[in-house]
Amino acid sequence: MKNGGKLTIKTSNGEDGTVIVRIIDSGIGIPPENISKIFEPFFTTKVTGEGSGLGLHICKQIIDSHQGNISFESSKGKTEFKVILPILQSSK
């Protein structure tokens, strides 16, 4: 968030053996024209040299490889990413 803001991280247990992680910020939001592209490799809105456009793409690949899910909602003043991951059960 360029001009400050608030970042909140919340965790909870899901109903079906999952853990839910929510990452919420009070930034400017994701413009509607970018919503369909944010998980694409090399997509960035930053100027050259400030970002590679791989961060969210890599996050999604890692989450997918663990049979999880990532989704988001965004509006001006609030973006929330929600990550759902299965909890590994001990084999004791």
Tokens 């997918």 found at: 64
Q: Which CATH number fits the domain that encloses residue 74?
A: 3.30.565.10
The answer to whether the CB of 78 falls within 8 A of the CB of 24 is yes
Residue found under tokens 């456009």: 53
**16, part of any domain:** yes
Report d(CA 92, CA 51) in Å as an integer.
44
Q: Is residue 92 domain-resident?
A: no
Read off the pLDDT of residues 9-45 as tens digits, 9 standing for 90 and up: 999 999 889 999 999 999 889 999 999 999 999 888 8
Which domain covers residue 34, as residue numbers?
A: 7-85
Q: Is residue 90 part of a domain?
A: no
Structural domain count of the chain: 1
Judge whether residue 72 has pLDDT over 90: yes
Q: What is the pTM of this model?
A: 0.85
**Considering the domain boundaries, does residue 33 fall inside one?**
yes
